[in-house]
Amino acid sequence: MLDDLKIYEKYDPGDVHSLLFDFHAQFSTGRKIAETSDYDKIAASDVRQIVVAGMGGSAIGADLLRCYSLYEMKIPMIVNRDYLIPGFVDKHTLVVLSSYSGNTEEMLMALEAARFLGAQLFAITSDGKLSDFARDLNFGLIEIPGGLPPRAALGYSFVPLTKLCEFWGFIPPQDEFLENTQYALHKGAEKLSRDVPTEENAAKKMALKLHGKLPIIYSSPRLEAVATRFRGQIEENGKALAYSSVVPEMNHNELVGWKHLYDFAEYLQPIFLVDFEDHPRNVFRMNFVADVMRELGVEPIFIEPPQKDAPFMTRMFEIIQLGDFTSYYLAILNEEDPKPVRIIDKLKASLSQFEG
């Protein structure tokens, strides 16, 4: 089915395939946008912590930066997915407001709270109320290209924020890593394209393994955001449930649950995302858990970056790219259009009528 190119005309009328194939271009565009922004409106020397307020596809770029810079970021950084913001936010807090549409209601309420608490503000958006607020209130703004599903604009949420943190002195220079990653994604897309037959296409093979199954994605803490992205793409593109968890934390609770699977074993598909820099004790833990699964008749899948000698940023995005294309082919197998998220649109319409 996946090698029948006519099937994509039926189930991909919005050409999500092109968005995935051309994703690499967002890296160079994102860098240029950041370099020409008014990032100097932030008094970086006064910043003691960073809060990124966003939801869904607009927040995952910040999650990836948080995990990527885990051992290099000089100040604490959290991603806030709520209407409310932490009590520690004050004049020494940089609140980055990330909303692709600019109209995300949770983010807009967080903006009001951050203003009240005197935080420094910076916005990343394509349009909407957030763009208007940034101009009216004269705080920093990066306007990214619009017209995409937020989850397809990952490069525009990750790259500008990464460059901003470089400009502000919170992380080391990143151009070499961004360029390497863009090149790897360009080459990777050619190997995962729908024109590449299944026997040579890792994403098509993965989609076939996941079809009809419940993926449960495990990773080390440094790949946590990659696992979250993988899960989210299966859910939004593939229209199928998936879950993710982190080692070693899952060893202290969830592992015990791998005993009574009832009749679900044949429908579970564990996936371990691994990197050669994972702590050796976490690698041991993953292999231990995998053996537990095998004893229950469940065979896990291990995924690692194809280039072990590439920079960590590149290795992260190579796994992300595989997950993105896998979710696309899973949508086709499910006979679904990967682009629309109608139930989310329905929820937003219902919320617009809710008074509270």
Q: What is the pLDDT of residues 206-251, one digit of tens each?
A: 999 999 999 999 999 999 999 999 999 999 999 999 999 999 999 9
Cβ atoms of 106 and 83 within 8 Å: the answer is: yes
| Residue 5, Cβ density class (10 Å: 0-12 exposed, 13-18 middle, ≥19 buried) | exposed
Backbone torsions φ then ψ of 31, nearest 5 degrees: -65, -45
Residue 191 annotated to the active site? no
Pairing of strands 120-125, 93-99: parallel
Task: Report whether pLDDT(332) > 90.
Answer: yes
Residue 17 annotated to the active site? no
Give the mean model confidence (pLDDT) for residues 74-89.
96
**DSSP codes, 67-125:** HHTTTT-SS-EEEE-SSS--TT-STTEEEEEEESSS--HHHHHHHHHHHHTT-EEEEEE
Residue 254 annotated to the active site? no
Task: Report whether pLDDT(356) > 80.
Answer: no
pLDDT at 77: 97
- Model pTM above 0.75: yes
Give the mean model confidence (pLDDT) for residues 75-89.
96
Written as six digits, the tokens of 314 are 């590149």
Task: Spot the catalytic one: 91, 279, 346, 348.
Answer: 348
Task: Spot the catalytic one: 143, 166, 236, 318.
Answer: 236
Q: Which CATH number fits domain 196-333: 3.40.50.2000, 3.40.50.10490, 3.40.190.10, 3.40.50.1820?
A: 3.40.50.10490
Domains of the chain, by residue range, sit at 37-173, 196-333
353 — pLDDT class (breaks 50, 70, 90): confident
CATH 3.30.950.10 fits domain 37-173? no
354 — pLDDT class (breaks 50, 70, 90): confident
Is 196-333 in the same CATH topology as 37-173? yes
Give the mean model confidence (pLDDT) for residues 81-103.
97
Q: Residues 31-54: pLDDT tens digits?
A: 999 999 999 999 999 999 999 999
Task: Spot the catalytic one: 6, 252, 259, 260.
Answer: 252
Written as six digits, the tokens of 346 are 């329905």
pLDDT at 352: 87
